[in-house]
Structure 1
Amino acid sequence: MKEKLELYLVTDSDMLKGRDFYKVIEDSIKGGVTMIQLREKDALGKEFLEKAYNLRKLTKKYNIPLIINDRVDIALLVDADGVHVGQKDIPAKEVRRLIGKDKILGVSARTIEEAMRAKEDGADYLGVGAIFSTTTKLDAKNVKKEEVKKIKEDVGLPMVGIGGLNLGNIQKTFNYGLDGYAVISAILGAEDVYSECIKWNKAIRE
């Protein structure tokens, strides 16, 4: 699980400025992205399902896990590798009951209490943040370094950081205990996504 979390791309079509969604995602995989989460906050059900089916084919081609944000029904329909839920989504315990024991379950957490409950409810990994201020989730509150380290020590689940991460600030997080980095705008906003992912892989493995 830790290896899969290293460079975790979360989708957002708004960042693409007219570029082909699937080409951008494929370029990111070729550049070294290790996991994809389909998270299209403005997409209606039909469009979201279509993207999920197409991404399922693409991720299978490259043997990359596909995680669906929130929509358990769509994850089951396309046989995705797992689901990620936030604190305001379907409770993780109910998601685990729906998807079974073999699928990946990720849960967002920003406190020890939320992280502990996620573990008890069957989470396989935690998405912890916001690490830094972010424009892609305006209601996200920052999590202090000490809290992130304590979550790692006390809960022990694999942990991916999210929120405002970029190549200029990730070195500040190298002692947080993170197992990976969930990135949206810092990759999808780049003109050359493939090259940007190469740079990310070099930075996080130095």
Structure 2
Amino acid sequence: MSSGWRPLASMRRRSSSSVASRIWFASLASTAVAPRMPRTSLGCWSLMSDNLSRSLRLMLVTDDRLLRGRDLVGLAEAAVRGGVTSVQLRLKQAGPRELLHLAGRLLDRLSVPVIVNDRSDVAAVAGIGVHLGPDDLPVALVRSILPAGALIGASVGTAAEAPNGAVASYWGVGPWRQTGTKSDAGPPLGIDGFRRISALAGGIPCVAIGGIRPEDVAAVRAAGAAGVALSSGLLAAERIEEAAGRYAEAWGAG
């Protein structure tokens, strides 16, 4: 990231009377002791905001189990060559230091936005986006702490999980069909369920996720999706670049 926003200095300038801010700063301070990561990336905040519609079209969501010891950064590079337009760093077994290190490597090597799953502290230190689930910090709180233009996604599978107000940059709506990637995913939504949930978004872009195949993409796009998010559809493929190309071609033809 360039010389603009300095996360820790920014936090110090916030009101000391805010309990949430003090808790947040403690979290950031503990995370920031990780090795310094390169700052030569994308100017991520503005890039994500200015090119949101393009960035959401084809999102790779990483998964510990599907990586099977392979190099995450190399796989992400191959996926981007095939047409992936953003990468969500989702590694449930990784700690904040490892995530921060991987985020730095991804930023150095990729030409697309990088988003971290769950870890708002890592997002703040690295200057990247964050995707939040129903059990993570509230979207509104994270929005109040991160800089204007920060990309914040929210997982929404039911009406009850929908964030209040237009505080999320996008919703990840699913699962489209049954998936083994996310054990706590709710029942499949399909076309009708996706439309029902996305109708609650009030114009916020909705990305479909959960067991989506290339042959589903036309229906997903016709249902109003801004894009598709993929784990096994890419990471379980023998050739990830070719698999990404099939999804990109299907989206372009939709």
TM-score by length of 1: 0.89
Give the corresponding residue for 1:140. 185
- Mapped partners of 1:138, 1:88: distance in 2: 14
Residue 150 of structure 1 aligns with which residue? 196
Query: Relative to structure 2, which stretch is displaced further, 107-116 or 93-102?
Result: 107-116
In structure 1, the residue matched to 2:158 is 111
Alignment of 1:16-55 (within 5 A): 16-55=67-106
Q: Among all aligned residue pairs of Structure 1 and Structure 2, give the percentage whose two residues are the same amino acid.
A: 34
CA contact (8 A) 1:10 1:183 kept: yes
Q: Output the amino acid matched with 1:128.
A: V
Q: Offset of 1:152 from its aligned partner?
A: 3.1
Flag structure 1 segments of 5+ consecutive residues without an equivalent. none
Partner of 2:116: 68
- Partners of 1:167 and 1:79 lie apart in 2 by 32
Question: Are the counterparts in 2 of residues 93 and 121 from structure 1 also a CA contact under 8 Å?
Answer: no
Aligned to 1:176: 223
- Give the partner amino acid of 1:95: V
- List aligned pairs for 1:110-129, cutoff 5 A: 110-115=157-162, 117=164, 120=165, 122-129=167-174
- 1:97 deviation in Å? 1.1
CA distance in 2, matches of 1:87, 1:116: 9
Deviates more, 1:26-35 or 1:135-144: 135-144
**Where does residue 131 of structure 1 map in the other structure?**
176
The counterpart of 1:96, out of the listed 143, 154, 164, is 143
Give the counterpart letter for 1:79 in structure 2.
G
Matched letter for residue 195 of structure 2: K
Gap regions ≥5 residues in structure 2: 1-51
Aligned equivalents of 2:223, 2:158: Cα separation in 1? 14
Change (3 A) 1:116 1:88: closer
TM-score, length-normalised on structure 2? 0.73
Q: Secondary structure at the match of 1:36?
A: strand
Deviations 1:107-163 (A, max 9, x none): 11123453352xx15111100001111111111012253232133334221110111
Question: Which of the two has higher C-alpha Rg?
Answer: 2
Among candidates 37, 42, 57, match of residue 6 of structure 1:
57
**1:171 Cα deviation from its structure 2 partner:** 4.0
Q: What per-residue deviation string (whole Å, max 9, x for no partner) do you get for residues 19-42 of structure 1?
A: 222111111111110011111011
Q: What's the RMSD between the two structures over aligned residues?
A: 1.7
SS, match of residue 3 in structure 1: helix
Q: Secondary structure at the match of 2:53?
A: coil
Structure 1 residue 58 corresponds to structure 2 residue 103:
no
Quote the residue 2:66 is aligned against: 15
